[in-house]
């Protein structure tokens, strides 16, 4: 399997999981399920980390940041510390920590894969929206663009952009409501603090859900702004298309007596299953034990469950 070309800062990979329904993008509803893989090059991460040590002032002098602040930023530092603590729970040899970890992983499996994908994307790695509002073109010699990789047999350039726009528009209010809901519920868990045996797990769960929705909301809002500034450019990938031609599930046969009003006619059809995941991981140069790989498996499984439910809106 030939991998995609080397990363150039940031790219978005659109992976359609279901075939489009006849109501695509109508009434603000998504016509198909698509998993978006957000990839940031290692060089970009290193550059961003080194750049955070200095801040340009009026384009002339450079002032070093205060040494007591984390180099990667407070938010990323807290996220990393929380992830390390959580990973430590998984390494515990029995007890409430291991049970909490196992229960938490089951809860993560139940989270919508769209939320998991969005919260994994860090907008700070991309161009600043504030700067874009002042000057849409950051560098006239090298225009700022973010490629949207897609399989041409499944999407057209305009459809790739339209579906991503509908995706962000659909997710923004959803995660905004989720953020405020879990923030409002968190204080109600205060009575659990009176139990001295274990930490106030309900409180931490509410905070975690609120933080997750907030990250997803900010990412979807950021992507929406990039689309408005036309910085996301569709880019067809023959290599990705080959994966779909090899692993895509054939569409279900049409019944001669079927009509648009038959309740037995499946509203949606699955396009990929778990067998396609290893080929996609190899193409995107992702490790099989990585979080991105786990999220992709979750997305494929959730797509299967949603299609099997037969509901109109996925």
DSSP-derived 3-state class of residue 57: strand
Instruction: Indicate the pLDDT class of residue 267, thresholds 50, 70 and 90.
Output: low
Please state, in angstroms and rounded to a whole number, the distance separating the CA atoms of residues 69 and 46: 17
Average pLDDT over residues 215-236: 93
Is the full-model pTM beyond 0.85?
A: no
Instruction: Indicate the pLDDT class of residue 271, thresholds 50, 70 and 90.
Output: very high
Q: Are 229 and 132 in contact (CB under 8 A)?
A: yes
Distance of CA 200 to CAs 187, 207, 276, Å? 11, 11, 41
Q: Which helix (H) or strand (E) holds 252?
A: none
Q: Choose between 275 and 195: higher pLDDT.
A: 275
> pLDDT digit string (tens) for 84-112?
665 666 677 777 677 777 777 778 888 99
Please state, in angstroms and rounded to a whole number, the distance separating the CA atoms of residues 243 and 276: 7
Average pLDDT over residues 9-32: 74
DSSP assignment letter at 65: P
Q: What percentage of the chain has pLDDT greater than the value 70?
A: 65
DSSP-derived 3-state class of residue 270: strand
Average pLDDT over residues 53-75: 47
């Amino acid at each position: 399997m030939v991998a995609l070309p080397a990363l150039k800062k940031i790219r978005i990979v659109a992976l359609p999981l279901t075939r489009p329904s006849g109501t695509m993008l109508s009434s603000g509803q998504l016509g198909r399920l698509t998993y978006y893989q957000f990839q940031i090059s290692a060089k970009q991460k290193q550059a961003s980390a080194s750049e955070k040590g200095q801040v340009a002032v009026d384009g002339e002098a450079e002032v070093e940041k205060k040494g007591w602040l984390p180099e990667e930023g407070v938010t990323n530092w807290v996220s990393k510390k929380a992830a390390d603590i959580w990973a430590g729970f998984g390494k515990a040899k029995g007890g409430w920590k291991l049970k909490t970890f196992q229960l938490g992983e089951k809860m993560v499996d139940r989270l919508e894969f769209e939320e998991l994908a969005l919260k994994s994307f860090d907008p700070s790695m991309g161009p600043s929206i504030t700067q874009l509002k002042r000057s849409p073109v950051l560098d006239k010699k090298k225009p700022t663009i973010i490629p949207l990789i897609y399989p041409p047999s499944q999407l057209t350039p305009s459809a790739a952009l339209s579906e991503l726009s509908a995706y962000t528009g659909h997710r923004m209010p959803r995660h905004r409501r989720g953020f405020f809901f879990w923030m409002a519920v968190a204080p109600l868990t205060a009575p659990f603090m009176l139990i001295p045996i274990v930490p106030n797990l309900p409180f931490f769960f509410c905070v975690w859900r609120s933080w997750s929705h907030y990250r997803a909301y900010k990412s979807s809002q950021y992507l929406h702004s990039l689309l408005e500034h036309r910085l996301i450019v569709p880019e067809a990938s023959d290599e990705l298309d080959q994966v779909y031609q090899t692993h895509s599930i054939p569409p279900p046969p049409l019944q001669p007596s079927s009509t648009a009003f038959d309740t037995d006619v499946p509203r949606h059809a699955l396009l990929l299953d778990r067998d396609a995941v290893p080929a996609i991981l190899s193409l995107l140069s992702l490790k099989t034990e990585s979080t991105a790989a786990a999220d992709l498996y979750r997305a494929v499984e959730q797509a299967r469950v949603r299609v099997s439910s037969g509901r109109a809106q996925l």
